[in-house]
Structure 1
Amino acid sequence: MKLDEEVEWVEVYYDGKCGMCCTFHEWINAQERANEIRFFPYQGVEAQQHFPELHSLDPAREMVVRTANGGIYRAAEAWVWCLWSCVKYRGLAEKFSHPRLLPQVQKLCHLLAANRITLSKVFFRGKMKQVTEQLHQMPGIDCAEGCALPQTIDNEREQKDV
């Protein structure tokens, strides 16, 4: 993995419903930047507008980063690019990108990604609560048709309630 000092910007596509991911986003935003970094929850319309091919990379499974020079990185390499974008953590990113260390970082990233919802509930409960509250404040969808449950499901529920 080659980190490029000339990269002007990095786009990060993350899970906007995950407490751990949202906390990481806030932490990166608080750091002094070496280059511009833009965050997009992969579930959002804006993510699809900026990067229509995103969903083919399975962003629900692991974070995705796209760089100004067209590079696309997932999992550990994506995390390394985020660190590289921070002035204070460039040295760490360079170490993590080394061919001998990157496979170990990759294992750690897979472990974290596979358990991020549980980790979010345990360590980032406040952030999960905040995300949930924000989702509940969003306006509902106004459907002309097709939003109601099918009649058969409504009937089955009524029968169970009796």
Structure 2
Amino acid sequence: MLSTPVSALTILYDADCGLCVHLRNWLLRQPQLTPLRAVAAGSAAARRRFPELDHARTLREITVVGDRGQVWTGQAAWVVCLWALAEHRPRAHWLATPAGAPFVRATMLAAAKYRAARGPGTAGGPTPPAAAPESTAPCGEQCAAPG
């Protein structure tokens, strides 16, 4: 569980992935309880702001950084993103439980298959179909959404 309060979150996303760009845009359009910022993973800005991160890994796996240095990756990162949203915080709390984890895991696997099928450099490609908000936020049992 999180012991340090979070005032803002920065999402590191793959700017060359159409799905990642679509999800970033969706997240940033939502009413937020905790401000979300987005920075392209592996970019000069990301390396400058977060020199301690493994930037090659941030290109393979969604990474979210809290304003106090907290880092979430993969499934936990998606839950933290949902936790920041006004309409989805209750869902994020549920997804962080063992009961919600299978739904998030399945969504993460589907997103990974989509990314793998599209390959690198697909940001300019067709926008993926809109998904229900709860299906855009994977999480596993190891997630501990801020509460």
Q: Same fold (TM over 0.5)?
A: yes
Confirm or deny: 8 A CA contact 1:83 1:93 kept in the other structure. Answer: yes
Select the structure that is richer in helix: 1
Once the two structures are superposed, the pairs formed by residues 146-161 of structure 1 within 5 Å of their partners are none
Out of 16-25 and 101-110, give the one that drifted further.
101-110
TM-score by length of 2: 0.72
Once the two structures are superposed, the pairs formed by residues 2-17 of structure 1 within 5 Å of their partners are 2=1, 6-17=5-16
Larger Rg: 1
Relative contact order higher in (CA < 8 Å, ≥ 6 apart): 2
**Alignment partners' CA distance in 1, 2:22 and 2:42:** 17
Confirm or deny: 8 A CA contact 1:3 1:84 kept in the other structure. Answer: no
Residue in structure 1 matched with residue 93 of structure 2 by the alignment: 94
Residue in structure 2 matched with residue 66 of structure 1 by the alignment: 65
Confirm or deny: 8 A CA contact 1:3 1:94 kept in the other structure. Answer: no
The answer to whether the aligner puts 1:33 opposite 2:32 as a matched pair is yes
Residue correspondences, number = 126
Change (3 A) 1:87 1:74: same
**Alignment partners' CA distance in 2, 1:90 and 1:108:** 18
The answer to whether the aligner puts 1:83 opposite 2:82 as a matched pair is yes
3-state secondary structure, aligned to 2:60: coil
